[in-house]
Amino acid sequence: MGGGLRTRIEEGFNFTGRLNWGTTDGGDKGLFNAIKRRYSVQTENYQKRLAASLLIKDHLYMFPSIDAFIDHYADEDNCVAEMGKAAIAVQIARAERRCLMAPDPEKSSYSFDIRRLKNSWLEPFARILMDNVRDPREVGNGVSIICFNYDRCIEFYLIEALRRRYRIDYSEARQIVGKMNILHPYGTLGPLPDQELMHDASHPNFGPDVDDRFDAWSLIAGIKTYTERVEEGEALSRIHTAMADSRHLVFLGFGFTTENMKLLSTTETMLYPRHKHTMLTTGVGVYEQVVPSLKGKISDLFANPNGNQWQGSTTVEVGMGCAELLNSYYLMLQQ
């Protein structure tokens, strides 16, 4: 979501008009109103946040992501990090609201028609997790998910899939998904709420409305940049353990940026990553010429004294998307 999120944040901060008087003709008015609710117009705090917003709008284009931008300005102005993360929260909420999983508020705040996602990669992924598993509490055992997106699409889909597959209620399905090893290196909008906490500002529903009840600032603590995540040793250790323990390692729609690869790289030297059999990656937009380099990057995630010994175990499926890859390797990944 890096490039798309960056563009939406740029557009969202395109405030124009009588800004000092608390009005704008452009940009994301929901975000602008949230700033006004947080800081009184014409105060110094308001002016600082407004300046940070316009700085992001004018210079974000030259950075690969909002995370990289925030890291770059981390030592100069804390308001940049604050406003960048507030914008992330707003845009992720809007993205959840636009997606096919967005609940119909007329019917339910915690359910959706799962058949809308029949062509998504989530459908074969859920089948891989659930086929031949009779007890829903065992779904996801032995599987780790490292998701670099801020949204909660994986969790919300799996809750609904569990409900439909095993005829259990939302709360039980949510508890099962909550125990799965799903890691978000850069954080999320927060855990999905139980039914009693629906519409609680600090526990936003999936696809919340960005209205007067939406408090982006209550969600900022859960959004991390690359530098902040590197400083969290326990979180990194869980990622590295998941990488080292994996028998099959699958990259779906992964961008292989330098920062993300550094986060995934194991720090201990191992003669052999434990039980590693196969490493797969989708390859939409990948050219054959870069496949050897891509295999080398993946192999280098595992510190070992023998160099590129894992390149032979890595398959780059050039031109293949997420759903097609999971369907093609369904039987192997079930093992």
Domain regions of the chain by residue span: 2-98, 114-206, 233-334
Q: What confidence score (pLDDT) does residue 59 get?
A: 95
C-alpha–C-alpha distance, residues 249 and 219, integer Å = 31
Assign 231 a pLDDT band (cuts: 50, 70, 90). low
Q: What residues does 251 pair with on adjacent strands?
A: 281
For residues 202-209, average pLDDT = 84
Q: What confidence score (pLDDT) does residue 311 get?
A: 60
What is the number of helices (H) and of strands (E) in the chain?
Answer: 14, 5
Of 20-29, 113-122, 138-147, 290-299, minimum mean pLDDT range: 290-299
Provide the token pair at 96.
């959840």
C-alpha–C-alpha distance, residues 105 and 93, integer Å = 15
Assign 304 a pLDDT band (cuts: 50, 70, 90). low
C-alpha–C-alpha distance, residues 282 and 285, integer Å = 9
C-alpha–C-alpha distance, residues 310 and 302, integer Å = 9
DSSP category for residue 142: T
For 10-52, the pLDDT digits (tens) are: 999 999 999 989 999 999 999 999 999 999 998 999 999 999 9
C-alpha–C-alpha distance, residues 67 and 88, integer Å = 10
Q: What confidence score (pLDDT) does residue 309 get?
A: 52
Q: What residues does 315 pair with on adjacent strands?
A: 280
Q: What confidence score (pLDDT) does residue 31 get?
A: 93
Q: What confidence score (pLDDT) does residue 271 get?
A: 43
For residues 292-316, average pLDDT = 74
Q: Which amino acid is at 293?
A: S
For residue 305, pLDDT beyond 50: no
For 170-203, the pLDDT digits (tens) are: 999 999 999 999 999 999 998 888 865 555 666 7
3-state secondary structure of 210: coil
Q: What confidence score (pLDDT) does residue 209 get?
A: 87
Provide the token pair at 325.
């890859």
For residues 314-334, average pLDDT = 93
Q: What residues does 281 pair with on adjacent strands?
A: 251, 316
Of 6-10, 209-213, 325-329, minimum mean pLDDT range: 209-213
3-state secondary structure of 316: strand
Nearest C-alpha neighbor of 256 from the set 293, 213, 221, 227: 293
Of 84-93, 124-133, 272-281, 289-298, minimum mean pLDDT range: 272-281
pLDDT > 70: percent of the chain: 89
Helix 44-59 to helix 2-12 angle (10° resolution) is: 130
Contacts of 180 (CB under 8 A, 6+ apart): 139, 140, 143, 145, 158
For residues 224-234, average pLDDT = 75
Nearest C-alpha neighbor of 243 from the set 275, 196, 212, 219: 275
Contacts of 110 (CB under 8 A, 6+ apart): 103, 159, 170, 192, 195, 198, 205, 206
Q: What confidence score (pLDDT) does residue 195 get?
A: 64
- The structure's pTM equals 0.90
Q: What confidence score (pLDDT) does residue 307 get?
A: 47
**How would you label 19-42 residue by residue, b for 16+ Cβ within 10 Å and e otherwise?**
beeeebeebbebbbbbbbeebeee
Mean pLDDT score of the chain, rounded to an integer?
87
Q: What residues does 324 pair with on adjacent strands?
A: none
Integer CA distances (angstroms), 45 to 29, 217, 219, in order: 19, 14, 19
3-state secondary structure of 48: helix
